[in-house]
Amino acid sequence: MERIKQTRKLTFICLIGNFLLTILKLIAGFVGHSAAMVADGAHSLSDILTDIILLFGVQFASKPADKEHPYGHGRIETLCALFISVFLLFVAGSIFYASFKQISNVLKGNILVKPGLIALIMAFVSLVIKEIMYQYSVKVGRKINSLAVMANAWHHRSDAFSSLAALIGIGGAILLGGKWTILDPLVGIVISIVIAIIAIKMSKSSMDEIIDRALPEEDIKRIKQIALSIEGIKNPHAIKTRRSSYRVFIDLHIDIAKETSFVEAHDKTTLLEKELKKVYGATSVIIVHAEPI
């Protein structure tokens, strides 16, 4: 299946990139005495795990429907997206705690070791690479309509934010020195807050799918317009919608003149299904109930 092929290619590339970044960041963080870079390295380490989860999630979610799962396995992908979001929130908490401890030491009168130039260089390299990963992941996520891939893309983008903040913090600490080394853990606090906000937003999207939240009002209006564009169909109503991974489910009732033959009514509902699939994809599930008037 094309979406599995695309996900495998994306995951393989990102896994290699994240593995190399994790090693280089941790080395640069410890050698350069930078808490922000060590935190950034831990974040990249978490990306390796979420890449693996994404790969298996999309693969299992793409399995066709069977007797025990007549609506398919799409919720597996949604659960993976939710897990990535929760994991990202955990990473944010870990970074916040480590940075807060360092700030507490500074407030007690201790002066942190000034970060080295190697940490600054690594922050810039990471920023560029993670932004490329984000753009590539978003492109694939939109192409295959995957919430999990989009969630992981934002995981990469949060790492890019982390690297940008680390670049600012480390640069400030190197240039100003002395007590200004507190900029390094302060930036760690900012990083953790940004990551937490992103994680909460992503988890909300996943929860919306799990609890069968309806599609936006704009989609309901579009569904009505498509139905009314077909001659003989009146009053589209009782519209129920939901999303499960890359699939959209639509149930609706329509009115058709009672003089219409059974075959004609069937042809009209079939045409409506085809028109809706043009908008919501061939894998969408459309159920139309015709009522005579």
User: Tens digits of per-residue pLDDT, 157-185?
Assistant: 777 877 777 777 777 777 776 566 677 67
Give this prediction's pTM. Answer: 0.67
User: What average pLDDT does this structure show over 270-291?
Assistant: 88
User: Please, are residues 236 and 253 in contact by the beta-carbon 8 Å criterion?
Assistant: yes
Residues 125, 37: Cα–Cα separation, whole Å: 12
- Return mean pLDDT, the chain: 81
How many Cβ atoms are within 10 Å of 201's Cβ, its own excluded? 12
Q: Where residue 112 falls among pLDDT bands split at 50, 70, 90?
A: low
Q: Amino acid identity of 133?
A: M
Residue 75 makes CB contacts below 8 A (sequence gap 6+) with 61, 209, 210, 244, 245
pLDDT of residue 171: 78
The mean per-residue pLDDT over the stretch 40-65 comes to: 73
Question: What is the greatest pairwise CA distance in the chain?
Answer: 89
- The domains of the chain are located at 2-208, 217-292
pLDDT value at residue 1:
63
**What is the C-alpha separation between 45 and 37, in angstroms, rounded?**
12
Question: Residue 17 burial (CB < 10 Å; 0-12/13-18/19+)?
Answer: buried
Whether 193 shows a pLDDT value over 80: the answer reads: yes
pLDDT of residue 254: 92
Among the listed residues 135, 146, 171, the one whose alpha carbon sits nearest the alpha carbon of residue 37: 171
Q: Give 2 or 186, the one with higher predicted confidence.
A: 186
pLDDT of residue 118: 84
268 or 65, which is more confident? 268
Residues 219-228, mean pLDDT to the nearest whole number: 91
Q: pLDDT, tens digit, for every residue of 35-50?
A: 667 777 776 777 777 7
Tell me whether strands 234-244 and 247-256 are parallel, antiparallel or unpaired. Answer: antiparallel
Reported as a pLDDT band with limits 50, 70 and 90, residue 90 is confident
Residue 115 has pLDDT above 90, yes or no: no
d(CA 75, CA 117) in angstroms, rounded, equals 46
Contacts of 82 (CB under 8 A, 6+ apart): 203, 206, 207, 210
Superfamily of domain 217-292, CATH level 4 = Cation efflux protein, cytoplasmic domain (3.30.70.1350)
Q: Give me the pLDDT at residue 250, please.
A: 92
CATH 1.20.1510.10 fits 2-208, yes or no: yes
Count other Cβ atoms within 10 Å, centred on residue 112: 21
Q: Angle between the 183-210 and 147-176 helix axes, to the nearest 10 degrees? A: 170
Segment 5-19 shows an average pLDDT of 82
